[in-house]
Amino acid sequence: MSVKLNRGCGACCIAPSISSPIPGMPNGKPSGVRCIQLNESNLCKIFGQPDRPAVCSAFDSEDFICAGGPEKALEILLDLEDATR
């Protein structure tokens, strides 16, 4: 079975809390807050750049998370964030 990945889902840049500095967000961001580096197409403006937080660079989404669309992905990731608090 093929799973379609929704490029530009953006849920991984909204759902998790990030405690390390992000350009434009020196104190990181809380869970559920849209990262300032997420553009209008839901793509990371600092992807691949050295000032991107390590936690973001290390995140490797599974296709099934984004396959249901941005809303479902956000729901899944927010549930994971709550479960790991």
Taking the chain (85 residues) in runs of 10, the rounded mean pLDDT of each run is 58 93 97 95 94 92 85 91 86
Q: Is 46 part of any domain?
A: yes
Q: Which residue's entry shows tokens 């500095």?
A: 21
Q: Is 16 part of any domain?
A: yes
- 29-32: list long-range contacts, CB under 8 Å, 24+ apart: 31/78, 31/81, 31/82, 32/78
- Note the pLDDT of residue 67: 87
27, with CB counted inside 10 A (0-12, 13-18, 19+), is: exposed
- Note the pLDDT of residue 60: 82
Q: Is 6 part of any domain?
A: no
DSSP state, residue 29: B
Q: Is 72 part of any domain?
A: yes
Q: Is 26 part of any domain?
A: yes
- Residue 20: count other Cβ atoms within 10 Å of its Cβ: 14
Q: Is 61 part of any domain?
A: yes
Number of domains in the chain: 1
- Note the pLDDT of residue 1: 40
- Note the pLDDT of residue 61: 77
Give the span between the Cα atoms of 85 and 65, in whole angstroms.
20
